[in-house]
Amino acid sequence: MAIDFRNVTKTYPDGTAAVENFTLHVPSHTCTVLLGSSGCGKSTLLRMVNRMIDPSSGAVLIDDNDVATTEPVALRRRIGYVMQDSGLLPHRRVIDNIATVPRLTGASKADAHRRAQELMEIVGLDAALARRYPKQLSGGQQQRVGVARGLAADPNILLMDEPFGAVDPLVRVELQRELQRIQTDLRKTIIFVTHDIDEALTLGDQIVVLKKGGEVAQIGTPENIVEAPANDFVAQFLGLDSARRSLKAAPREGGGWLVSDGRGRPLGVVDSAPDQQHATD
Amino acid sequence: MEWILNNLPRITDLTVAHLLLALPAVAAAFLIAVPVAWAANRVRPLREVLVSGTGLLYAIPSLPLFIVLPIILGTGVRDTFNVIVALTIFGLALMVRSAADALDSVDSGVRLASTAMGYSPAKRFFSVELPLAGPALLAGLRVVSVSTISLVSVSAVLGVQSLGSLFTDGFERGIVPSIAAGILLTAVLALLLDLLLIAAGRVLMPWSPGGGR
Amino acid sequence: MNHLIDAFDVLLDPESWSGPGGFGVRMLEHLWYTALALIISAAIALPVGLMVGHTGRGRALAVISTGLVRALPTLGLITLAALFVGIGLTAPMIAFVVLAVPSILAGAYAGVESVSPATTDVAKAQGMSGWQVLLRVEIPLGLPLIIGGLRNATLQVVATATLAAYVGAGGLGRQLFLGLRTQDYPLMLAASIAVILLAIVLDACFEFSQRLLRRLLGLV
């Protein structure tokens, strides 16, 4: 399912514009990352898709149908949503949290639980955790429950609002890897909001770099953006100007190359130098 | 002790009468306070009016309210209904504020997540917000139940039968054990009802830190 | 409704306010009882409550006593005291103090506790002694809550003072019980309205002073 933002604008009653005249095509079965610092309107854009926020003007279309024509509650039930701090219901057990949406749409408790158990396996949660309450889980586990819950109704679209923002860096990397694995299998249309450039480069098939007010600084694949930042804003955001991403390679004793960043901080080694022939393929 | 044993049937009757006045009032205060609190939170300008307004009721002394209320209700001063309504008003004075705070304290992230998952507003209220406000609602309800149980006895000076009658009888006839028994039983009733509420909380809210596991 | 009109006739008649047993004297008695009970209770509860809040010791005891008193039936307390010390003001005064102390205590320790630890730490770091921290930082900043405790105690005493007449003391309860015994509903009603108005006026005074204080202290 493809998603289209057509000239959407969101202005609040006090006159502030969260998003102005934003247009974007999100291709089916891919992950699009909305990247920007706080106040760039990325969460606002995300929430327009499931009508948590309605645009002041313009339209959001899912497979060419304007979402404004769909009743919001029904719409939300067929779109997965994962947020920071997981937003799990503290008074429901893990299994019931995951089963929430199927239960809302009328699945029997047994069916919903069976589905929830499958999902726990998919997101890498031990089945023994099913009977626990969210507070009894670690932050990373809670976030996995959040992802499982987002997938429970088997939605074609998954909206993720800084889902891994509140977990520590190691767990975050692990969760990103899991998400990539899940995406390889399930191929959902994902819109992923983050302010973390590394996360964006890891997960995005398409990255949209946003300035304040939802102004697009650049749209492209991770490679496009790193290779050819469209302007100073993007370069600065990526850290290209701060020498963090301008790498140098020096020959290593005993073959291979030592790679370091612009300030000389060693980053890692390459066993064999990239072959100029291959690089231009 | 001997006095209590000799007067057991009467004490039992008075205890039952006491509960029949207190329990409906506690229940009514709770059932009215929750929707009022919901409305107060929903319409923000209304909140200050409703919460402070019901809070003001708390300033009204109990005995005078028992006497003034019949004008509005059209009942007699000794009417059970009159006493229950007066007690309900005192319950509301405490409960509306705590219910409004309880419903307001539900984590906004959870609210947001449940909306995003496709809860309709009504369903969200009953299956997410109300249960999550549960522990704070229970705390408010416990205060109301204890103070209602103790307030009932004041109505005895008007001639309404309750454990308070042990005070008026005891005072008029100079029987200390009667008054002592009345105080003791009031405290025991308050304690029992409180324990009952705590137990109910554990059963209904096994997920809350105060209850279950 | 006729009763209500009759009751206001009683209240608006200058005759009923004058004389040794009139509303005027009873109102003054009621206020006097309340003031006396508050002074005695505050003399006991304020120092204790402030120390509990300042040192953090005895907090559990203070919390429990507040809870216990809520469960204590006021009428039982007054009649019990009356049987022991006899008819008069002493018995109700004992009851008033027992009822008022926990409210004042709770307000005092909650007031002191409401001052953020960072603020008191800064005061200590500047070289203030324990007493100076209490007198110059904790009490002024905690004042709205301390007064809140006095406010609850006042309401409690005004209400209970109505019952004092039941055990032979004065106050507006006298008129109320007179009406009750003589089946004079307008008189009962008039006395009740007078007590309610008294309570609401006192409560409003406290509300006003608390708001004023919050503004003066810059807490709003």
Tell me which residue in B56, B71, B149 faces C71 most closely, judged by beta carbons: B149
* CB pair distance less than 8 Å for B167 and C79: yes
Alpha-carbon distance A211 to nearest alpha carbon in chain B (angstroms): 25
* CB pair distance less than 8 Å for C203 and B56: yes
* pLDDT tens by residue, B83-127: 999 999 999 999 998 999 999 989 888 999 999 999 998 999 999
Which residues of A are less than 8 Å from B118 in CB distance?
Answer: 73-78, 101, 104-105
* CB pair distance less than 8 Å for B113 and A77: no
User: Digits of tens for pLDDT over chain C (220 positions)?
Assistant: 678 888 888 888 888 787 777 888 899 999 999 999 999 999 999 999 999 888 888 888 888 888 788 788 999 999 999 999 888 888 899 999 998 999 999 999 999 988 888 888 888 888 888 888 888 888 888 888 899 999 989 998 998 899 999 988 888 999 899 988 888 888 889 999 999 999 999 999 998 888 888 888 776 5
Q: What is the pLDDT of residue A281?
A: 45
The chain B residue lying nearest A152, using CA atoms, is B117
* CB pair distance less than 8 Å for B205 and A86: no
Name the band, by pLDDT with cuts 50, 70 and 90, for residue B50: confident
Alpha-carbon distance B83 to nearest alpha carbon in chain C (angstroms): 15
The chain B residue lying nearest C187, using CA atoms, is B67
Query: Could you identify the residue written with the tokens 């920007």?
Result: A36
Length of chain A: 281
Name the band, by pLDDT with cuts 50, 70 and 90, for residue B213: very low
HSE value, Cβ hemisphere, 13 Å, CA-based, for B104: 16
CB C81 within 8 A of CB C91: yes
CB C195 within 8 A of CB C158: yes
Q: What is the pLDDT of residue A242?
A: 66
Number of C-beta neighbours around residue B35 at 10 A = 10
**CB-defined contacts A:B, below 8 A:** 65
CATH topology of domain B2-204: MetI-like fold (1.10.3720)
* DSSP at B17: H
Instruction: Note the ipTM here.
Output: 0.84
Query: How would you list the strands of the sheet with A17-26, edge to edge?
Result: A17-26, A3-11, A57-62, A65-66
Domain ranges for chain A: 3-238, 248-279
Q: What is the pLDDT of residue C11?
A: 82
Alpha-carbon distance B147 to nearest alpha carbon in chain A (angstroms): 29
The pTM assigned to this predicted structure is: 0.82
* Selected residue of C31, C79, C96, C220 to mutate for chain B interface (largest B Cβ count, 10 A): C79
Calpha distance A100→A116 (Å, rounded): 9
pLDDT of B164 strictly over 90: yes
Domain ranges for chain B: 2-204
Q: Which amino acid is at B72?
A: I
Q: Which of B5, B21, B47, B2 is nearest to B163 (CA)?
A: B21
Overall average pLDDT of the B56-65 stretch: 87
Q: Which of B15, B1, B10 is nearest to B177 (CA)?
A: B1
Q: What are the Cα distances from residue A77, in Å, to A99, A156, A271, B124?
A: 12, 11, 49, 13
CB C37 within 8 A of CB C93: yes
Cα C89 from chain centre: 16
Domains of chain C: 23-217 (1.10.3720.10)
* pLDDT tens by residue, C29-53: 999 999 999 999 999 999 999 998 8
pLDDT of B212 strictly over 80: no
Calpha distance A116→A102 (Å, rounded): 9
Name the band, by pLDDT with cuts 50, 70 and 90, for residue B10: very high
Tell me which residue in B120, B131, B132 faces A73 most closely, judged by beta carbons: B120
CATH topology of domain A3-238: Rossmann fold (3.40.50)
Identify the chains in contact with A, defined as 3+ C-beta pairs within 8 A. B
Name the band, by pLDDT with cuts 50, 70 and 90, for residue B29: very high
Q: Which amino acid is at B111?
A: R
Those residues of chain A that have pLDDT short of 70 are 240-244, 272-281
